[in-house]
Each structure stands twice: as structure tokens, then as C-alpha cells.
Amino acid sequence: MDCKLAVSSLALVAAACTSMQNPPAANVPDNLKPGANESVTIVAAARGVQIYECKAAKDKADAFEWSFVAPEAELLDAGGKKIGRHYAGPHWEANDGSKIVGTVKARADAPQADAIPWLLLATKSDGAQGSFSRITSVQRVNTVGGVAPETGCSQSSLGTVVRIPYTADYYLLAEKN
């Protein structure tokens, strides 16, 4: 093999490995930026549903609304391989059993009108040691769909559950070493 070709191939492999180990930060509004001591460690694409239930409105008599119940999604790596799942809590669970639970710190309207908001969530480990156990924050960005229906919730449909398809990117952040 030509030495120049071998060096070029090695450089490409090194660049690819570096980009996988240090995913780029998400381009987000200031209120969704991570702490200065955090960096992106995993980027997971989510494909699933946002689940809503028709309930009596809390603040209006004789009114009804779609109330958020939970997300349900697969988490995929850049190659489309399932690396975990996202569900009620909200939890993010890796295939290795490690999981985190999040609390919303900040939100911003999605640039797309019919998409669920972008979020920044503080997280804590809630499971076994593994790929997700060091995660301290999660950004939900690039959302598509997932918004509750605007109609169809009435007294006659109380208890009805709908599953609205959505996609999003989850940027999982951990403290810098």
C-alpha cells in the first residue's frame, strides 16, 4: 500500500472517531444552553409518540382539554441503531440498563409551529452504571410533531387517549473531565 494513501486513510479514521467521541453542541436559544462545565457526550434521535388523554380542564368549569401523559420513543444513534428508549418520568434508558430521570429547567418554542417545545432538563442517574449514568443535562431540540390535538376533547370523549407521532434530537450532556 502507498504510504501516502495509508496516512490519508488513517487521518480520515482518526477524524471520524474524534467527531463521534465529541459530538457538536446543539444550536439553541441562550436559555437552553448547557452549563459551562458540561459538554455533549451522546446525540440520540428519538422516534415515537407523545401520549395525551382527554380530561376535564383544571381551570375552567365544563371545559375539556388534552392533557400530556408521557412520551414513548426509541432512541437511535447516528447510524439508526437503537441505543435506548425514552418514556414517562421523563426517563431516558440505555440498552445497558443505565437510565436518567429529568426535570425541566427551561423551554423555548420550537421554530416549527406544529412541534413540541425545545427543552433543557436537569437529570440524575436513576439506574445501573452505564452509558447514561454520568449524564447531567438533556436538551430536546429539532422537534417535529407531537403537539396535542386542538379539537376532539369533550365530555363524551373523556378518558380517550391519543398517540401523536413525533421526532426529536436529544443531546445528552455530562460534566467535562
Beta 91-94 vs 161-175: how paired, if at all?
unpaired
Q: How many C-alpha atoms does 14 have within 13 Å on its Cβ side?
A: 6
Contact of 100 with 68, CB cutoff 8 Å: no
Q: What are phi and psi of 156, to 5 degrees?
A: -75, -15
Q: What is the rounded average pLDDT for all residues in the chain?
A: 88
pLDDT reported for residue 68: 97
What's the whole-number mean pLDDT along residues 121-129? 95
Cα separation values, 38 from 33, 85, 139, 142, Å: 10, 23, 12, 20
Give the residue among 123, 147, 127, 146 at the shortest CA–CA distance from 136.
123
Read off the pLDDT band of 157 (50, 70, 90).
very high
17-76: pLDDT as tens digits: 333 456 777 789 999 999 999 999 999 999 999 999 999 998 888 899 999 999 999 999
- Predicted structure pTM score: 0.85
Read off the pLDDT band of 97 (50, 70, 90).
very high
Distance CA 177, CA 171 (A): 18
